[in-house]
Structure 1
Amino acid sequence: MLKIIVLIIHVLVSLFLMAVILLQEGKSAGISGVISGGAETFFGKNKARTMEGTLERLTTISAVVFIITSLVLALLMGK
């Protein structure tokens, strides 16, 4: 029973992780990224309040949950 619950959580977290990664913008901005690179350090303080910062935080949290559920599933399947 515990295996099934952890497996369902694992699948849902993996789907959420894929969606969050696909929603993020690419880091390469081309030549415009080189020109506006100095402004990024100034406005970087408020980055956590933007959609990009929220998506990065959600990616980190869901990746950690994915790894934890992977390890739990590996331990449960070994029994």
Structure 2
Amino acid sequence: MKSFLFVLEAVLGLIVVVSILMQKSKADALSGLIQGSKSETFFAKNKAKTKEAMLAKITMISMLLFAVNTIALNLL
């Protein structure tokens, strides 16, 4: 049981790292100052169905499972 939780911890850690690294940066940097904000596009209004939204959901779920798994490992 404990070895299964350790393997699950490693897999969840890899999923968290990969999903965070695949996400696009939210900072506009200098282009946001010059061109203004890009929040009025079609993709900004329909963000729930985009790749970024899917990655954000995967990240949140895997981080929650990682935290629960860490607590379970600590209790054993």
| Smaller-chain TM-score bracket | 0.7 to 0.9
Q: Which runs of 5+ in 1 are unaligned?
A: none
Deviating above 6 A after TM superposition, structure 1's stretches of 4 or more consecutive aligned residues are none
- Give the TM-score normalised by the residue count of structure 1: 0.81
- Give the TM-score normalised by the residue count of structure 2: 0.83
Which has the bigger relative contact order, CA under 8 A and spacing at least 6? 1
Deviation of 1:36 after TM superposition, in Å, equals: 2.4
- Measured on the aligned residues, the alpha-carbon RMSD in Å equals 1.8
Where do 1:1-79 residues align within 5 Å?
2-33=1-32, 35-39=36-40, 44-76=44-76
Provide the C-alpha distance between the structure 1 equivalents of 2:57 and 2:32, rounded to a whole number of angstroms: 22
Structure with the bigger percentage of helix: 1
Deviation of 1:38 after TM superposition, in Å, equals: 4.3
Aligned length: 74
Q: Which runs of 5+ in 2 are unaligned?
A: none
